[in-house]
């Protein structure tokens, strides 16, 4: 049972970690402080997580924990004379929450659109973005000219952008 809890928590945490951190960073704005808040949030999430927590609610549950820690962060800043009014903090939170939700929609659309690409397009994007290869390296690797690789990647990116916009509009 304990292993099931650990597996489920870490799977869900890893799935939503980027979204949670983006939410924190949008609210805190200082990357070092945001990382500290993220670490504290992860500890609290682990301590409070029960296997009965529903998967589809994990992100919102995590964001609620992060929101409380962000409030504590700003209360500490108030003590240090960096004062933000509650209305401003509420506005920042509302905007960042909507951005997180649109980010989740964007990632889902991106995955759907990536699946529609042909094998060569996926290979080139994988070489460039997952493996971090330069276009010259890619051209040597696939034995195509640098110009051809630039064109294929540019066209693929444009097609992805159109697909994502269309998917999100639906």
Please report, for the domain that includes residue 94, its CATH number: 1.10.1740
> Same domain, yes or no, for 8 and 90?
yes
Can you tell me the distance from the alpha carbon of 122 to that of 142, in angstroms, rounded to the nearest whole number? 13
How many domains does the structure of the chain reveal? 2
Which pLDDT does position 26 carry in this prediction?
85
Is the alpha carbon torsion for 87, 89, 95, 97 positive or negative? negative
The model's pLDDT over 62-98, given as tens digits with 9 standing for 90+, comes to: 988 999 999 888 888 776 555 556 676 677 776 666 6
Question: Does pTM top 0.85 for this prediction?
Answer: no
The model's pLDDT over 2-40, given as tens digits with 9 standing for 90+, comes to: 677 788 888 888 888 988 888 888 888 788 999 999 999
> Same domain, yes or no, for 12 and 59?
yes
| Angle 91-93-95 from CA coordinates, rounded to 5° | 70
Which pLDDT does position 98 carry in this prediction?
66
Can you tell me the distance from the alpha carbon of 127 to that of 134, in angstroms, rounded to the nearest whole number? 8
* pLDDT tier, 52 (very low <50, low <70, confident <90, very high otherwise): low
> Same domain, yes or no, for 140 and 96?
no
* pLDDT tier, 53 (very low <50, low <70, confident <90, very high otherwise): low
The CATH number of the domain holding residue 144 is: 1.10.10.10
> Same domain, yes or no, for 138 and 169?
yes
> Same domain, yes or no, for 64 and 26?
yes
> Same domain, yes or no, for 79 and 122?
no
In this structure, is residue 30 part of a structural domain?
A: yes
- List the domain range (segments joined by +) for residue 153: 117-170
- Residue 95 tokens read as 């905007």
Angle, in degrees to the nearest 10, between helices 2-28 and 58-79: 50
| Neighbouring C-alpha atoms within 13 Å toward the C-beta of 45 | 30
Q: Please, are residues 22 and 103 in contact by the beta-carbon 8 Å criterion?
A: yes
């Amino acid at each position: 049972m304990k292993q099931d809890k650990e597996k489920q928590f870490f799977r869900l945490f890893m799935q939503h970690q980027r979204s949670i951190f983006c939410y924190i960073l949008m609210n805190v704005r200082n990357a070092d402080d945001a990382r500290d808040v993220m670490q504290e949030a992860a500890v609290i999430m682990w301590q409070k997580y029960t296997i009965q927590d529903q998967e589809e609610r994990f992100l919102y549950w995590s964001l609620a924990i992060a929101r409380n820690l962000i409030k504590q962060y700003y209360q500490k800043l108030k003590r240090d004379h960096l004062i933000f009014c509650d209305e401003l903090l509420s506005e920042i939170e509302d905007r960042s929450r909507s951005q997180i939700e649109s980010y989740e929609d964007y990632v889902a659309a991106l995955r759907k659109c990536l699946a529609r690409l042909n094998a060569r397009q996926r290979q080139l994007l994988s070489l460039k973005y997952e493996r971090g290869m330069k276009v010259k390296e890619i051209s040597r690797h696939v034995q195509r000219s640098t110009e051809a690789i630039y064109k294929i990647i540019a066209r693929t990116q444009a097609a992805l952008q159109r697909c994502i916009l269309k998917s999100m509009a639906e």
